[in-house]
Chains A and B, each alone.
Chain A
Amino acid sequence: MPVWLREHSWRQTPTAVYLSLPLRGARATPANIFCSEQYLKVSIPPFLFEAILYAPIDDTNSTAKIGNGNIFFTLYKKEPAMWDSLTLANADKEKLQYLRENAVVKAHEKAKEETEAKKITKQEHKKYALEATMKLEEAERKRIEDLKEKERQKVAKELELWKKQQENGDKYKSIQKKGELHQEIEQLKEIKKEKTNKTRIPNEGTSKTRPKPTKGCGGSSSIFSQNLKEEQLPAPRAPATIEVNFTPRVFPTALRESRVAEEEEWLHKQAEARRIINSDLSELEDLKEEEKNPDWLKEKGNKMFAMGNYLGAVNAYNLAVRLNNKLPLLYLNRAACHLKLRNLHKAVEDSSKALELLTPPVPDNEHARVKAHVRRGTAFCQLELYTEGLQDYEAALKIDPKNESIEKDAEKIRHLIQGTMQSS
């Protein structure tokens, strides 16, 4: 239940009403005051003061002063007239209600309008600012352009001047030269009478390279003057050859051609493979030190293969693989053994595993890949899976197009395929 504040006092002039409202100790802020055209409310919970004004006021210009435990209202009347009382006397409840709501609505609308107006002014200000900066930038640009233009024109003028000088200089020089040449001809005619054929031959010999008349000079006279000069030049150098070597590279491509990333990957993989030793130590404890080295085992396997001991070679490679399953050459060689032993499926498996390990494809592992493809192809053919075999042979050919034996084998397989197709 609000506590009504009723001890207000007021006085009026024809244009304004002055209302004083004691607050009884409550502190007021602007938020507590609500005013519309005909309705005034001060609500400081639990205190409440409400008044339906006698006549409408101009609420935008009216003021309220808060201070000294008092609110002092200065309300400017809309119509200058004297009020009989501050509030409407015979205000029934409904009218009160209506006025209240109206007041609130009106206040809302006003607030909305105000925000709208603010927004619009803000936008206009922004636009103005933008235009101003644009103008400034334009001015700056223009200034720079003008400077450049001036430079250009200045420079063009200088160039013209220089050109004229050149032409005048040339003309002057050519006149001079004509004079000189006439003198030279006189001198040389005398020298010629004294000298023998010797001077003649060099003239003719070098006349091939004589110029046709150059600008402003007499034809024959220039030969003589040039001849004198020629005798001052050294003879052509004695021919010689210098042999050069070009910088070698691990991968024989220049930086722009190399697929460095792939090659790095390949090298990295190789290094990794070397480092891995996956071994169950328990089983291998009784092996000798050297038998634990996959490289040594590979060598052993190769020797046994060469001697024809294919089973032994397979064993060696098996052990090596157990120690290090990332070395592609082990699988490759084991595939060869299986081929010889006619374990064709195993041969296919091993070649495939080798090819897997030989990615990424780089020039370095070309040989290995060719071998893997050829071995797998052979295995397929012996299994009578000729199309797969042909695929592998063609892959091998793609890597190494110059290998004749692969070519021949591929041809044979093609014939076989065509033969079976015809018969079936």
Chain B
Amino acid sequence: MSVVTGPERPQVVSHVQQALSYTVFDCKWVPRSARLLCLGSAARGTGLIQLYELHGARLELLREIEKPKPIKCGTFGATSLQQRYLATGDFDGNLNIWNLEAPEIPVYSVKGHKEIINSIDGVGGLGIGEGAPEIVTGSRDGTVKVWDPRQNDTPVANMEPVQGESKRDCWTVAFGNAYNQEERVVCAGYDNGDIKLFDLKTMSLRWETNIKNGVCSVEFDRKDINMNKLVATSLEGKFHVFDVRTQHPTKGFASVSEKAQKSTIWQVRHLPQNRDIFMTSGGSGSLHLWKYEYPAQRSKKDSEGSEMGVAGSVSLLQNVTLSTQPISSLDWSPDKKGLCVCGAFDQTVRVLIVTKLNKI
């Protein structure tokens, strides 16, 4: 693992810090604006959505919305740029889509799962990619469901354990490979280390593997291109980068893994402006910035002549410790390169700026 040294390293500058009076589970930038959302759970057991605006060196609270159930995760991925509706998953298994201008009644609501929705992702919106807008949710009840906001009540795809089998909690989901109107894949990570890749065009399981430790977060480097790289982070400080361009019939995808820190890696997020740079957040309150380098040849032929991928290497650009509690959520701003927000379990949300990313 090589480290870029010297004053040319990207620096992580903490711009604003805001103390909250509730536990924040997810934080997201509102696209095309300097506003951000914090989703979480208040002490009295209700859900909170707070909308902040960045003013100079502080965050100004614009709006606070309270909901009956604590909210675990949210995404803007499936909404258009004009509407900017927020899709949230809550502790009760409900999927709701809210118009933040009129949040009393959700625009779309369904009790999707029997248990808490751990993770949510959206695709097809925000002017990125093509195809129908869809939302995927992964829950503790072991199922992964894909929803279309135009179809009420039933999911358009459901990935559930075989009848009678014991179920494992699904901890994370991500969309990928949405480069035209038909293609979509969903990647799901479970608590026993399983990673499964579902192809929505053929409605089948395309690939699966097990990385031994529970998978906390998966993300493709871009949702709207032919699937290129997939990063999966897990407990005990490890993360794996899979080169998903080339699938070998038996060996699957090539990967490189890195053990970054002793604690759980809670989140991985790729920089929207550069798909080879990603940031991981850890249970020790630290953030690590990584760069992936491609190998000289991305695929090679094995002994039987089938194509096999070659994994590259990962190098650490910078790391910084911001808090003593885990940083559970992380989001890059799609509009300003290097601007990101992170929320930690010490009830603070921090806006950070990562400098010198142009020089990487």
Q: How far is the CB of B262 from chain A (nearest CB, A)?
A: 14
Interface residues on B, range: 35 or more
Q: How far is the CB of B216 from chain A (nearest CB, A)?
A: 12
When chains A and B are docked, how far (Å) is the Cα of A241 from the Cα of B124? 21
Given A209-B108, A246-B168, A241-B157 contact (CB < 8 Å)? yes
B13 to A242, Cβ gap below 8 A?
no
Instruction: Tell me which residues across on chain B come within 8 A of A255, comparing CB atoms.
Output: 192-193, 212-214, 235
A237 to B193, Cβ gap below 8 A?
no
Q: How far is the CB of A158 from chain B (nearest CB, A)?
A: 8
Nearest 8 CB-CB pairs, A to B?
A: A236-B148, A237-B156, A254-B192, A240-B203, A236-B151, A241-B158, A247-B210, A155-B353
A281 beta carbon closer than 8 Å to chain B: no
B196 to A237, Cβ gap below 8 A?
no
Q: How far is the CB of A221 from chain B (nearest CB, A)?
A: 12
When chains A and B are docked, how far (Å) is the Cα of A75 from the Cα of B33? 94
* Interface pick from B111-119, B159-167, B265-273: B159-167
Interface residues on A, range: 35 or more
Instruction: Tell me which residues across on chain B come within 8 A of A249, comparing CB atoms.
Output: 192
Given A212-B99, A245-B165, A166-B32 contact (CB < 8 Å)? yes
When chains A and B are docked, how far (Å) is the Cα of A214 from the Cα of B13? 34
In the complex, residue of chain A having the shortest beta-carbon distance to the beta carbon of B84: A214
B56 beta carbon closer than 8 Å to chain A: yes
- Please provide the chain A residues from 215 to 249 with a CB less than 8 Å away from any CB of chain B in the complex: 217, 222, 226, 233-247, 249
When chains A and B are docked, how far (Å) is the Cα of A155 from the Cα of B353? 7
Instruction: Tell me which residues across on chain A come within 8 A of B83, comparing CB atoms.
Output: 211, 214
Given A151-B355, A233-B132, A246-B190 contact (CB < 8 Å)? yes
A and B contact pairs by CB, cutoff 8 A, 23 listed? A155-B353, A155-B355, A214-B101, A222-B82, A226-B82, A233-B132, A233-B133, A234-B132, A236-B132, A236-B148, A236-B150, A236-B156, A237-B148, A237-B157, A239-B158, A240-B156, A244-B208, A245-B162, A245-B165, A247-B194, A254-B168, A255-B212, A256-B213
Instruction: Tell me which residues across on chain B come within 8 A of A160, comparing CB atoms.
Output: 56
A296 beta carbon closer than 8 Å to chain B: no
Instruction: Tell me which residues across on chain A come within 8 A of B156, comparing CB atoms.
Output: 236-240
Q: How far is the CB of B352 from chain A (nearest CB, A)?
A: 10
Given A148-B13, A155-B353, A155-B355, A245-B101 contact (CB < 8 Å)? no
B101 to A151, Cβ gap below 8 A?
no
A122 beta carbon closer than 8 Å to chain B: no
Which A positions have Cβ atoms within 8 angstroms of B? Answer: 147-148, 151-152, 155-156, 159-160, 162-163, 166, 170, 206, 208-209, 211-212, 214, 217, 222, 226, 233-247, 249, 252, 254-256
B204 beta carbon closer than 8 Å to chain A: yes
A239 to B150, Cβ gap below 8 A?
no
B252 beta carbon closer than 8 Å to chain A: no
B161 to A256, Cβ gap below 8 A?
no
In the complex, residue of chain A having the shortest beta-carbon distance to the beta carbon of B101: A212
A244 to B210, Cβ gap below 8 A?
no
- Please provide the chain B residues from 79 to 130 with a CB less than 8 Å away from any CB of chain A in the complex: 80, 82-83, 85, 99, 101-102, 107-108, 124
B131 beta carbon closer than 8 Å to chain A: yes
B149 beta carbon closer than 8 Å to chain A: yes
In the complex, residue of chain A having the shortest beta-carbon distance to the beta carbon of B192: A254
Residue from the list A155, A162, A240, A242 in contact with B15, Cβ < 8 A: A155
Instruction: Tell me which residues across on chain A come within 8 A of B107, comparing CB atoms.
Output: 208-209, 211
Q: How far is the CB of A196 from chain B (nearest CB, A)?
A: 23
Instruction: Tell me which residues across on chain B come within 8 A of A244, comparing CB atoms.
Output: 159-162, 196, 205, 208
Instruction: Tell me which residues across on chain A come within 8 A of B353, comparing CB atoms.
Output: 155, 159
Instruction: Tell me which residues across on chain A come within 8 A of B154, comparing CB atoms.
Output: 239
A156 to B15, Cβ gap below 8 A?
yes
Instruction: Tell me which residues across on chain B come within 8 A of A240, comparing CB atoms.
Output: 156-158, 203
Residue from the list B57, B102, B151, B198 in contact with A242, Cβ < 8 A: B198
- Please provide the chain B residues from 1 to 44 with a CB less than 8 Å away from any CB of chain A in the complex: 7, 11, 13, 15, 32-34
When chains A and B are docked, how far (Å) is the Cα of A240 from the Cα of B85? 26
When chains A and B are docked, how far (Å) is the Cα of A160 from the Cα of B53? 12
When chains A and B are docked, how far (Å) is the Cα of A374 from the Cα of B203? 51
**Which of the listed residues A166, A206, A240, A252 has the most CB atoms from chain B within 10 Å of its own CB?**
A240
Instruction: Tell me which residues across on chain B come within 8 A of A235, comparing CB atoms.
Output: 132
